[in-house]
């Protein structure tokens, strides 16, 4: 299938992935997991929500936990360049029949929420309250020392169309997985705005759902340390996949599940992709190094389970990709 061309003059300027809002059923349990085990810093909290961030982040939050009766991914968020980009985005959505509205959100400036043509619920903002840098506050470090939110990965029922839509918004393809043969279909795509491997990955599957969100950590040893922390603090069963090294992105990784089953990746050692002529790297679906450079396949849960969006019906994928699954 065709890969999209880089678009350098998108209708509005998305800078990077910024934050995720999760609906959780037990706010106390979720806070304990992300604050004490993973090691995110709690910036604000009340009886209905907890706001957390990584130690490198100046922004008020990159993870919001909202108390709710049903677990879901409420929204994923992207930062845009300036206030004018919000108006440009609203004009683009109006011209293309995309549902959108401006909404008040705590600690954020003007926020534009929209549902894309595939059902993903997203919000854009230009400004957020600032907080002091915690990078050198080593006395506060816990868990795996998460530094910053890096990317989102979503299950999409229509991978090609979803990829083409976000390429139109200026997301640039870095790597992709494709069936072999003359009519091979793209089963997954990694796209970026900020200059590393991805801000948004699109994976074939029942969608729209959030597959995972990811925090970048300083070294592979931080990932290994989190395994020890979780094994000794009652979260052993929350370890889902890894540690290991992806072929795609070259990143050293670990996937864990929070008390509601939301999937979090801890990640380091990917590479820069900011050159305008960076060529996307193709992976065959039959190449075992694609999932894990060392050849170990992912568990079935990794291909089948994800977090739905609250008001969007989950659809069957346009095709079923033939992937290797661990026994």
CB 167 within 8 A of CB 191: yes
- Listed residue (21, 38, 12) closest to 216, CA to CA: 38
- For strands 172-178 and 209-216, give the pairing: unpaired
**pTM of this prediction?**
0.97
CB 123 within 8 A of CB 111: yes
What are the helix (H) ranges across the chain? 27-32, 83-95, 159-168, 220-231, 300-304
Task: Tell me how far apart the alpha carbons of residues 172 and 178 are, in angstroms, rounded to a whole number.
Answer: 17
> Mean pLDDT of successive 10-residue segments in the chain (327 residues)?
92 98 98 98 98 98 98 98 98 98 98 98 98 96 97 98 98 96 94 97 97 98 97 96 94 97 97 94 90 88 96 94 81
* Per-residue pLDDT at 1: 67
Task: Tell me how far apart the alpha carbons of residues 57 and 55 are, in angstroms, rounded to a whole number.
Answer: 6
- For strands 239-245 and 63-67, give the pairing: unpaired
Task: Tell me how far apart the alpha carbons of residues 289 and 294 are, in angstroms, rounded to a whole number.
Answer: 6
* Per-residue pLDDT at 151: 98
**E strands, 54-208, in order:** 63-67, 72-80, 100-103, 111-115, 121-125, 148-156, 172-178, 186-192, 200-204
| Beta bridge pairs of residue 39 | none
Residue 217: exposed, middle, or buried by beta-carbon count in 10 A (0-12, 13-18, 19+)?
buried
Task: Tell me how far apart the alpha carbons of residues 200 and 220 are, in angstroms, rounded to a whole number.
Answer: 22
């Amino acid at each position: 299938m065709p890969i999209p061309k880089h678009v350098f003059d998108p209708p509005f300027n998305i800078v990077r992935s910024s934050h995720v809002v999760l609906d959780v059923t037990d706010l106390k349990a979720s806070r304990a997991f992300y604050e004490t085990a993973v090691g995110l810093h709690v910036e604000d909290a009340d009886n209905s929500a907890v706001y957390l961030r990584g130690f490198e982040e100046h922004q008020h939050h990159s993870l919001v936990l909202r108390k709710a009766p049903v677990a879901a991914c409420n929204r994923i968020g992207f930062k845009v360049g300036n206030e004018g980009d919000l108006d440009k985005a609203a004009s683009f959505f109006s011209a293309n029949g995309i549902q959108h509205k401006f909404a008040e959100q705590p600690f954020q400036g003007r926020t534009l929420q929209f549902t894309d043509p595939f059902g993903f619920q997203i919000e854009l903002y230009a400004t957020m309250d600032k907080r002091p840098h915690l990078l050198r506050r080593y006395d506060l470090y816990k868990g795996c020392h998460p530094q910053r939110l890096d990317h989102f990965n979503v299950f999409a029922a229509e991978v090609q169309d979803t990829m083409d839509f976000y390429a139109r918004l200026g997301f640039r393809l870095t790597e992709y997985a494709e069936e072999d043969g003359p009519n091979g279909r793209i089963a997954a795509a990694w796209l970026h705005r900020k200059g590393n491997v991805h801000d948004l990955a699109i994976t074939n599957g029942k969608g729209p759902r959030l597959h995972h969100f990811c925090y970048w950590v300083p070294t592979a040893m931080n990932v290994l340390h989190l395994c020890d922390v979780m094994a000794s603090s009652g979260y052993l069963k929350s370890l889902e996949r890894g540690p290991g090294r992806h072929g795609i992105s070259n990143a050293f990784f670990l996937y864990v599940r929070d008390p509601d089953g939301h999937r979090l990746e801890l990640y380091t050692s990917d590479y820069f992709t900011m050159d305008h002529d960076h060529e996307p790297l193709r992976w065959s679906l039959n190449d075992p190094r694609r999932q894990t450079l060392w050849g170990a396949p992912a568990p079935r849960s990794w291909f089948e389970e994800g977090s739905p969006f609250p008001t969007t019906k989950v659809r069957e994928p346009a095709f079923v990709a033939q992937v290797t699954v661990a026994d």
